[in-house]
Amino acid sequence: MSKPVNRIYFDNAATTPLDPLVLEAMMPYFTDKFGNPSSIYSYGRESRLAIENARKSVAKILNAHPAEIFFTSGGTESSNTAINAAITDLGCRHIITSPIEHHATLHTVEHLSCYGDVELSMVKLLPDGHVDLDDLGRLLANSSEKCLVTLMHANNEIGNMIDLHAVGNLCKMYGAIFHSDTVQTVGHFPFDLRNTPVHFITGAGHKFHGPKGAGILYINENVRIKPYIHGGAQERNMRAGTENLYGIVGFAKALELATGEYETQSAYIRELKLYMMEKVKNAVPGITFNGDPLGRSLYTVLSVSFPKTEKSEMILFALDMNNICVSGGSACTSGADQGSHVIRAINNDPNQVTVRFSFSKHNTREEIDFVVEKLREMI
């Protein structure tokens, strides 16, 4: 089978290529419209207007108020800000999270539990990798302290999704603060934040064909926190530092495009995922799929575990040699790489090698055919 393109990119959960229309929207702010948004002359006012228009656009798409949207450097900064604020400003002394969160969350809560006199609890997972909501309810009910619940909307490795409303309503029942890492879902699913019981959500432009280094933190209007980064008065005194002007413009444009294309593109990408599942299942014996790929799951992500052999252990290297970009995620690996904490938590089988395939609107069935044929040859 001939290779359809020079490089096959199946790692869109890690990052996505910049949309040409996003670059077009950003370009004037690299060149002519370079004013500092804090300056009072016309160049500065022009830049300030671009940022505020971007804020209004993002807020409208997410059905939030513009005053609830703060621009950041990305998901990591946004999650760090929200989690730290819940402890330092909102009185939370007990953090409840899951063992499969992104490290931007896990490393933050572990740091706080070590140095911040904060209790840390891990909610149980069901066999399919979903969060056990009954256990979450028990943890909330039995806590003597005010809780912060931080659970990601969609897992970046296996794709499992929580029900934001179910978790949010549980938090409301017990007076808990709810932060959700929504980096994998902002730009991929519609949001209605006015009618979602959540205090903080996050977003990163490079996950939906926007620029790297540009993200958002949504802070519900009923929440009052202090800045995490101190300095100037940018972002209404909430996030100091000269704004990433072109990144913010690009974030808003990418979100606008992703929202406009949601119905057609999500259906197309979901079909690619199902096609890949069918093809790889028929081509490679003994594989398993991680998480709940046919249930409440991110349509862009497919996690596949292959039986461990001398050949399959080299699968990422072999795919890379064929110009195929994917991510690994085995439970246990040799050397410095400790493997995936997500896979260890749900499928701690040392006799499997896990690969994450993640798709975008640019991928095709022909690419999947080529990759599956290569997998069959390799394994």
Mind telling me the catalytic residues?
Answer: 332
- Residue the block writes with tokens 């990601």: 152
Provide the angle, in degrees to the nearest 10, between the axes of the packed helices 42-62 and 245-260: 30
Pairing type for strands 94-97 and 119-122 reads parallel
User: Taking phi first (over 0 means left), then psi (-120 to 50 degrees means alpha), and beta for anything else, what does residue 123 get?
Assistant: beta
Nearest Cα residue to 180 out of 212, 216, 208, 144? 216
Contact 326/275 with Cβ under 8 angstroms? no
